[in-house]
């Protein structure tokens, strides 16, 4: 239905309508003379004047119009509708713009082409924005796809929404299986229930969680150690969780390796100490063997001569010697065992002091060194008895090396509860020459020794200290003592 309006009104309506079109628009007659144009038309063409161009041809107003445009005009006048949504255009003044334009014929009452209409819109800004957004999206997409760190978006109920390739590799599922199909809980071993609750609480109160170490169950049923960090986001009024997932497999393997090396070093140091103590140990065993040999000979004679009394005495001596040798060997076996085979247990301090003295006794006696033992503690610590005995043997051997040749030569080993602290202190003192000041800080370093070549590996104190520290304690040279005094302190277990 059309509205009948007086011609003059139509003319005014048309003029106003075109003026306010919010883009560059113009209407031309067959000779390309301006019939009407929007207010923005001149400015869009780089003309800041407000001259009256009605009646002038387009080419008079803009003589620099290029041939391609003239061709478009011709085609429009021939009845063709032409449009371009994104046309890259370099203006005469050097400006580069993206234009959206439309050229269409208008027809008169008889249906003949009366001229053309041209609409142009500068879409440069939209194009720039679109390009920036595309770039941004592409950057983020690349980041997500290529990130070596696993990335995962999930719902508060644990359903996975988006997983990147790195994360899918960690759990061993495909994108189709995981996103929208699996939940966080399905892949979490039950033993982490308590830890999970704690992480959820942290997430609730701080909007972040982690660092959190746990395991996922992979598609093939194996578990993989991971470390997670994450935070909450709101997306279209829904709360979701982003998580970063690190594969900890290699790190765990490395940690295991380091621990194995540490245990090997402890064992090696211990065996080195045993080697140094070998002479004393041989003596300890050869005496009982000699007793057995001589009493066996005596027993033979007593049997031949019917001397029951001597026979009985000989037998008693043999058995006592055998028992003694047995204890020495048992002590050595205990000491030689690898500590990693022992689980952590309660260790009685007075027992390990006795054990250490037993292992060192022969050497100490032979060097005319007086040993004083002052143990008043009944404390227990938690850890490895063999490792702690090794530390005491190390200290006693060092004390013996220092005290030997000193006048007088003595060693004192003490073990007492520390006042006002849940600690026990074991100390080994010797009458040897004081350590030179510059050695005092270096003695705990690996391979440092004040002994001559062949008399010590220099590993003992560094390993001893690492053992003590692993037990939560300290091993130090007591600089305040009047003699050389090494003190180790350990946290006590109160049971």
Partner 1 sequence: MTEPVVYIDDEPLLCRATEAILGRSGIAVATFTDPLAGLAYVEAHPVAVVLCDYRMPRMNALELLQQLARAVPFYIVSGELDVARLAAGNPRVTGVLTKPFPAEEMLELVRAHLPTAG
Residues of this chain that interact with partner 1 (CB under 8 A) are 278-279, 282-287, 289-298, 301, 305, 310, 313-314, 317, 320-321, 362, 365-366, 368
CA 85/CA 98 separation, integer angstroms:
9
Of 149 and 296, which has the nearer Cβ to partner 1?
296
Widest distance between CA atoms in the chain = 162
CA 13/CA 58 separation, integer angstroms:
23
Of 371 and 413, which has the nearer Cβ to partner 1?
371
Minimum CB–partner distance for residue 288 and partner 1 (Å): 8
CA 202/CA 195 separation, integer angstroms:
11
256 to each of 9, 251, 262, 289, how far by Cα in Å? 93, 9, 10, 44
3-state SS assignment for residue 296: helix
Minimum CB–partner distance for residue 434 and partner 1 (Å): 25
CA-based nearest residue to 118, from 63, 70, 49: 70
Minimum CB–partner distance for residue 455 and partner 1 (Å): 15
* End-to-end CA gap in the chain: 101
Rg from Cα positions in the chain: 47
Of 217 and 320, which has the nearer Cβ to partner 1?
320
Of 139 and 286, which has the nearer Cβ to partner 1?
286
Minimum CB–partner distance for residue 363 and partner 1 (Å): 9
Determine which helix (DSSP H) or strand (DSSP E) holds 34, and give its type and residue range. strand 34-37
Minimum CB–partner distance for residue 294 and partner 1 (Å): 4
Of 307 and 417, which has the nearer Cβ to partner 1?
307
Determine which helix (DSSP H) or strand (DSSP E) holds 467, and give its type and residue range. helix 460-470
Minimum CB–partner distance for residue 215 and partner 1 (Å): 53
Of 233 and 278, which has the nearer Cβ to partner 1?
278
Burial class from Cβ neighbours inside 10 Å (0-12, 13-18, 19+) for residue 85 reads exposed
Of 317 and 456, which has the nearer Cβ to partner 1?
317
Minimum CB–partner distance for residue 332 and partner 1 (Å): 15
Of 149 and 303, which has the nearer Cβ to partner 1?
303
Of 154 and 369, which has the nearer Cβ to partner 1?
369
Instruction: Specify the residue for token string 């194996």.
Output: 222
Minimum CB–partner distance for residue 362 and partner 1 (Å): 8
Minimum CB–partner distance for residue 228 and partner 1 (Å): 59
């Amino acid at each position: 239905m059309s509205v009948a309006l007086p011609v003059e009104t139509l003319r005014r309506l048309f003029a106003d309508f075109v003026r306010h079109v919010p883009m560059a628009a113009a209407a031309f007659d067959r000779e390309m003379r301006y019939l009407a144009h929007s207010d923005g038309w001149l400015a869009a063409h780089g003309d800041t004047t407000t001259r009256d161009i009605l009646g002038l041809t387009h080419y008079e107003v803009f003589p620099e119009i290029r041939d391609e445009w003239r061709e478009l005009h011709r085609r429009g006048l021939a009845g063709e509708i032409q449009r371009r949504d994104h046309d890259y255009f370099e203006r005469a003044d050097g400006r580069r713009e993206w234009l959206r334009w439309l050229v269409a014929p208008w027809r008169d009452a008889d249906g003949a082409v009366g001229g053309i209409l041209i609409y142009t819109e500068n879409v440069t800004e939209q194009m720039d924005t679109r390009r920036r957004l595309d770039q941004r999206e592409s950057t983020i997409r690349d980041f997500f796809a290529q990130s070596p760190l696993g990335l995962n978006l999930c719902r508060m109920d644990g359903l996975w929404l988006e997983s990147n390739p790195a994360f899918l590799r960690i759990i061993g599922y495909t994108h189709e299986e995981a996103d929208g199909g699996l939940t966080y809980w399905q892949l979490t071993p039950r033993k982490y229930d308590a830890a999970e609750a704690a992480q959820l609480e942290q997430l609730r109160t701080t909007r972040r969680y982690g660092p959190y170490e746990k395991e996922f169950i992979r598609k093939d049923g194996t578990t993989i150690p991971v470390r997670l960090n994450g935070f909450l986001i709101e997306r279209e009024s829904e709360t979701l969780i982003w998580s970063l997932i690190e594969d900890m497999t290699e790190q765990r393997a490395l940690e295991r390796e380091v621990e194995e090396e540490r245990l090997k070093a402890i064992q090696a140091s211990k065996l080195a100490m045993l080697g140094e103590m070998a002479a004393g140990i041989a003596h300890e065993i050869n005496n009982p063997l000699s007793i057995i040999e001589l009493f066996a000979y005596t027993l033979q004679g007593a049997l031949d001569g019917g001397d029951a009394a001597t026979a009985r005495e000989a037998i008693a001596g043999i058995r006592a010697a055998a028992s003694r040798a047995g204890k020495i060997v048992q002590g050595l076996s205990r000491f030689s065992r690898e500590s990693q085979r022992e689980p952590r247990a309660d260790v009685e301090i007075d027992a390990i002091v006795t054990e250490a003295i037993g292992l060192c006794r022969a050497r100490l006696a032979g060097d005319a060194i007086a040993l004083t033992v002052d143990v008043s503690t009944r404390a227990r610590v938690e850890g490895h008895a063999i490792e702690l005995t090794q530390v005491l043997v190390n200290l006693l051997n060092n004390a013996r090396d220092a005290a030997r040749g000193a006048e007088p030569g003595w060693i004192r080993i003490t073990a007492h509860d520390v006042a006002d602290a849940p600690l026990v202190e074991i100390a080994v003192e010797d009458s040897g020459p004081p350590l030179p000041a510059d050695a005092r800080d270096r003695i705990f370093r690996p391979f440092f020794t004040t002994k001559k070549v062949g008399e010590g590996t220099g590993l003992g104190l560094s390993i001893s200290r690492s053992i003590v520290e692993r037990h939560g304690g300290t091993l130090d040279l007591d600089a305040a003592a009047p003699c050389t005094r090494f003190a180790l302190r350990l946290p006590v277990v109160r049971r």
